Structure 1
Amino acid sequence: MNDEVWLVVPLYNEAPVIGDVVRSARAVFPNVVCVDDGSADDSVAQAARAGAVVVRHPVNLGQGAALQTGFEYALSDPGMRWVVTFDADGQHQVSDVLEMLEKARTENLDVVFGSRFLDDRTQAGFAKRLVLRTAVAYTNLTTHTRLTDAHNGLRVMSRDVVSRLQITQNRMAHASELVQQIGAMDVRYGESPTHILYTDYSRAKGQSLWNAVNILVELILR
C-alpha cells in the first residue's frame, strides 16, 4: 500500500544530508519527490542519486511554493492516495509517517497532523516551546481547527485534500495558511505524536528560537 503514498520534500541547500534522508524514506516509501527551491549546492545530484524524483525551481521561491509544486507533481500520479510533507534536513522519522498513515486509514481521516507536543520525545527548549505554543493558540483562534502543534512540517493528507489546497504564502506563513484552508474544508482530521530530531545541523539550518519567533511574527502580520 505504500506505493499509493508520495513524500513531498522541499529542498534548499541540504547536500550534506538529503541523500541519507531520501534513502531512508525510500526504504519504506518508493515515491519521493524533492522540490529543489533554487539550491546553490549539490542537493539536486545527491537527491537524484538516492532515487528521488527531483523537480526544480530556477530561483528560490520559499517552502510554501515548493510544497505547492510538489503537490501538483504528486497529483499527476493517478495512483496517489496520500501525500506526506517531509523535511529535507533529517528532523522527521519514517516510523512516525507509518503511524500517521495507519491512523488516517483506520480512523477514516482526511488529514493527520504531526505534533511534537503529544509526547516527550522531542527536546525543544523552553523558550522555543513557548513561542510555538503561542503560535498554536493564535492559529486555533483564527482557523476552524484545534491543534497542539500547528507548525509541524510532518503531515499526511488525502488526495482529495491536496487537490483543493492552493498555497500562496511562500515563506514560513504557509503552514498557517495550509491549516486555515484545511479547516475551511470541513474534513476529518486528527493529530499523531512525532519525534522531531533537533541536531546541530538542523539548528544551524534555521531551527532556532529566532526562527520560531519569525513564524509567530509572520503569522500575526498575515
Structure 2
Amino acid sequence: MTSTDGSQTQPPVPVSPITDAWLVVPLYNESQVVRGVIEEARRTFPLVVAVDDGSKDDSAERAEAGGAVVVRHPLNLGQGAALQTGITYVLERTDARYLVTFDADGQHSVADAAAMVRAARDEDLAFVLGSRFLEGPSPVGRLKRLILKTAAVAASRTTGMHLTDAHNGLRVIRRDAAKQLDLRQNRMAHASEIVRQLGATGLPWREFPVHIAYTEYSKGKGQSLWNSINILVDLLFS
C-alpha cells in the first residue's frame, strides 16, 4: 500500500471478531445514535443484546436495525435494572464466557472493550473495570472528576479494592462472576453495587485504562452534569 507521500505503508491488520463475549447495552431514548453505535461495535463484537428500558422514542427499533437482539422493559426501570436484564439474558440464553457492559450513546471505545476482553483472557481475570484516570489526562470536568474520585475512595474503603474509577460503565465480566450479580439499585448507585458484588466474589480482577468520548450529542443531553449530581446524591443517601 502506498501513502500520499509515495512511501510504502503496511495494510491495516484485520481484527478477528470476538465471539466469546456479548455486549450488554442498556438503552433509553438514544434513537439519534444507537444504530450507528451498535453497527460499529458489531464489527468487533457481533453479539449484542440491547435492553430498551421503556424508551419513549424508536430506540428499540433502531437498535434492532443495527443488528442487536432487543429485550424490552415496558416501563423505565433504571440503568441498573436494564443491566441486570441484559446479564440474565446472556447467562440464560447463551454460552458466552464473557459479557461487556457498554453504553448506547457512543462514549465508549470498542477498541478499549476488545483490549479488556483480551486482558481477561490472557491474565485469567474474572472481571476488568474500565478507568478514566489510570493514564494520561481525562476529558472529565473538574466537578465530575472530584465526585468520581470521591466515589472511588468510598468504594475502595467498602470493598477493600483499590479503585481509581468506580463509576465507569465499561466493564468485562466473566461468566462465573456474572452469575453472582443480583443488582437491586436502579439509579447511579448500581455502579457502586456492581463493584461491591464483584469484589465480594474474591475472584481475580484489575482496572484497565479507557478513553471516554464526550461528544456534542452527550453534552447536549446534559449527561455529564446530571450524572455528577446523581452520583453525589447516591453517595450521600445509598
Aligned residue among 2, 13, 24 for 2:40: 24
Partner of 1:52: 68
Corresponding position: 1:122 with 2:150: no
Q: Retained in 2: the 8 A contact 1:92–1:197?
A: yes
1:40 — aligned with what? 56
| Shift, 1:193, TM fit | 0.6
Match of 2:78 in 1: 62
Aligned residues: 222
Q: Which of 197, 207, 211 in structure 1 is aligned with 2:223?
A: 207
Question: Where does residue 106 of structure 2 map in the other structure?
Answer: 90
| Bigger Cα displacement from structure 2, 141-150 vs 30-39 | 141-150
Cα deviation digits, residues 54-103 of structure 1 (max 9, x gap)? 00000000000000000010112342100000000000010001111111
Q: What amino acid maps onto 1:8 in structure 2?
A: V
Identity %: 56
> What is the letter of the counterpart of residue 11 of structure 1?
L
Kept in 2, the 8 Å contact 1:121–1:195? The answer is: no
1:209, distance to aligned residue in structure 2 (A): 3.0
TM-aligned CA deviation for residue 118 of structure 1: 1.1
| 1-structure distance, mates of 2:136, 2:60 | 35
Q: Distance in 2 between matches of 1:102 and 1:220?
A: 36
Q: Secondary structure at the match of 1:171?
A: coil
Moved more, 119-128 or 82-91: 119-128
2:122 equivalent among 102, 106, 128: 106
Q: Quote how far apart the aligned CAs of 1:130 are.
A: 1.1
Contact 1:12 1:38 in 2 (8 A): yes
Counterpart Cα distance in 2 of 1:145 and 1:206:
31
Mapping of 1:66-85 within 5 angstroms?
66-85=82-101
| Number of the residue aligned with 1:9 | 25
Query: Stretches of 4+ moved more than 3 A in 1?
Result: none
Distance in 2 between the 1:204 and 1:3 partners? 34
Please tell me whether the aligned partners of residues 10 and 37 of structure 1 are also in contact (alpha carbons under 8 angstroms).
yes
How do residues 172-191 of structure 1 correspond to structure 2 at under 5 angstroms? Answer: 172-191=188-207
- Give the Cα separation in 2 of the matches to 1:126 and 1:23: 33
| Structure 1 partner of 2:9 | none
Counterpart of 2:163 in structure 1 is 147
| C-alpha distance 206-166 of structure 1, shift in aligned 2 (>3 A) | farther
2:127 corresponds to which letter in structure 1? V
Structure 1 length normalisation: TM-score? Answer: 0.96
RMSD value, Cα? 1.3
Deviations 1:26-67 (A, max 9, x none): 111111000000001110111000100000000000000000
Higher-Rg structure is 2
Letter in 1 for 2:172: V
SS in 2 for 1:9: strand
